[in-house]
Amino acid sequence: MCGIAGFYASTQTIDPRLQTYFSQSLSHRGPDGEGTFQTCTSSGKPLLLLHRRLSIVDLQHGKQPLMGQDILGKDAVLILNGEIYNQESLRKKFTSYTFKTESDCEPLLPLYFEKGEKFASDLRGMYAFALYETRSNELILGRDPFGIKPLYYRMDETGFAFASEITALLFPWEKFPPLEKSSQMQALNLQFSCGQKTMFSGIYRLLPGEMLFVLDGKIKKSVHLPALNYAQSQKKTKTQEALKEFEETLLETLQAHLMADVPVGLFYSKGVDSSILLRGLNLLGYLEIPAFHLIFEGEKSAIPDDFPLKACFEEVLFEEEDFWKLLPLAAFIMDDFSADYAILPTLKLSEAAQKKGLKVILSGEGGDEIFAGYGRYKKATRPRLFGGRSLREKSLLHGLGLLKESSSWRHDIQQAEREIFQHKELSSLQKAQALDIEDWLPHDLMLKLDRTLMHFGIEGRPPFLDKDLANFGFFLKDGLKLHRGQGKWILKKWLEDQIGLDFFEKKKGFTPPISRWISKKAHILGPLLKHQEALKDICVPEKIEELFKKLIRDPVLKKEGMAAWILLFYTLWYKIHVEKIEWKANVFQILGKRETIR
């Protein structure tokens, strides 16, 4: 895991401040070193590539940029953020190529020389890369099909810039870009924004699986590598066969994801997904892997002495004080907006992992999308006559009268629905899963995982989104995933066969009691948010104050609590990223409250 950035000029010069700004903006992503490549193309256009390194594989020689040449004298330069898990098999394939390092990224170079623009289809891993081919002067950007690794870009009359984080593309010597209205509306209604547009006008996401081809600072074309081949039909596998294949695929996937020359740990929630990962690690012989488990104030230790899964458990306490303390940091790191409240406890876990000297964390994200774990899939598979409905059909603010206008916020979702629903081979369940994989997964879950861990210089790896395991799970027949109303049935069955389910309790995951905590400050927050610049053109002021008064009367209101959280987080995000208020102040100072808060 690293940070990458670059600039391909369409004029004859590059601003001399760029390299320093790129490096400083991404230093937390790559605290172990910096590498650069600069050249002037045959057409006279300057090019800069920058890499900030988090050393995980080949600690001594794996520095980037990586350079290579084929037998015909074609040269290429590569910078990459991520991990390539099938690097060993790729190396064996290119026996005549002279490798200079043991880096898992280097096999991309001979693979590109052999297959050209189709080379990414042979990769198994998570990645965002930039590859420059000197003969054609072509710069290629690519992102893994599940969108595990982020990449952003902007383009104007001076050239084409890209970076691992949006902040690195907001050049302080330029006029600040206006906010993108459509993305604002998505953020408030969904808690995240999706599609190519970010919250900042003129700054775009490279979409999951997308490859951009840039020449002389201008986009030449775009191609897309899908995460899953939706034309594939469901497997007719019987239960016992499926259980056996799942175990084989899981163990091989975990073995691949343990590739590292540094310590590896696990985020453990005591839910199905992380328990599956830990049981798999135990079967591979890893009985003392550091496993970080969150407990909220007032809870007892969740890991008894006779617990059937083995690890070096590290319990991390998350208290109300942590909620308020970490809020500004959470808003700061989420330059690509997402108001997933699990960001806060994940930050606390990430800090604990850093203190233990870890650089790699395995995490269970993706298990619900691949093996149909969400309760919303039940509704998505029912006919409308019996209560069925599409995913994200209603706003999280629906019925509260908070927004001044109800302009369309589902346009990117509708576009994804049109593309997915044309695949007649997919069942209703698979269509719902596919929609989550297209928007919710990359733009919320993967974004959260990336930003929270990378702030502390740690790489997050989600094994459930490995190419092999994901294809196995998604194309299982529906009855092995959603069985008698129970999601992730095949995973629970495997876990039950392995160790029983007696130790399970209702999963709490990383979900803090936000409604209760916000309600304690609602008498201050309501008047404060009512007059915020961030909300004045979007929300009805009286409705904001009314919302917080409701929470004072009833602190456990779920819908109102979620709405209050979104408004609070969005306002903090706006104050920090748009108004440029120092994020290291406390929440109420950032919001403009000067007297002491008790």
Please state the domain extents for the chain: 2-224, 239-499, 514-590
CATH 3.30.70.3270 fits 2-224, yes or no: no
Q: How many residues does the chain have?
A: 598
Query: Tokens 């808060």 sit at which residue?
Result: 597
Q: Is the per-residue pLDDT at 507 higher than 60?
A: no
What is the per-residue pLDDT for 506? 55
Contact between residue 334 and residue 577 where contact means Cβ atoms under 8 Å apart: no
Q: Phi/psi of residue 344, each to 5°?
A: -65, -55
- What are the E-state strand segments in 144-237? 152-156, 159-163, 203-205, 210-215, 218-224
The string of pLDDT tens digits covering residues 310-320 is 999 999 999 99
Percent of residues, the chain, with pLDDT higher than 70: 96
Q: In this predicted model, which residue has the larger pLDDT, 79 or 44? A: 79
What is the per-residue pLDDT for 386? 43
CA angle, 489 then 437 then 248, to 5°: 45
The whole-angstrom distance between residue 153's C-alpha and the CA centroid of its chain comes to: 17
What is the per-residue pLDDT for 59? 86
Query: Tokens 């109420």 sit at which residue?
Result: 588
Q: Is the per-residue pLDDT at 509 higher than 60?
A: no
The string of pLDDT tens digits covering residues 289-336 is 999 999 988 787 778 888 999 999 999 999 999 999 999 999 999 999
**Strands 210-215 vs 203-205: parallel, antiparallel or unpaired:** unpaired
Supply 31's token pair. Answer: 């605290």
What is the per-residue pLDDT for 469? 97
Q: Is the per-residue pLDDT at 61 higher than 90?
A: no
Q: Which CATH superfamily is domain 239-499 in?
A: HUPs (3.40.50.620)
- Band (pLDDT 50/70/90 cuts) for residue 234 is confident
The region of weakest confidence among 65-79, 466-480, 583-597 is: 583-597
The string of pLDDT tens digits covering residues 564-587 is 999 999 999 999 999 999 999 999
Residue 9 in 3-state DSSP?
strand
What is the per-residue pLDDT for 356? 96
The string of pLDDT tens digits covering residues 406-430 is 778 999 999 999 999 999 999 999 9
Which residues on neighbouring strands pair with residue 362, listed in sequence order? 266, 461
| pTM of the model as a whole | 0.95
Q: Is the dihedral of CA 430, 255, 358, 5 positive or negative?
A: negative
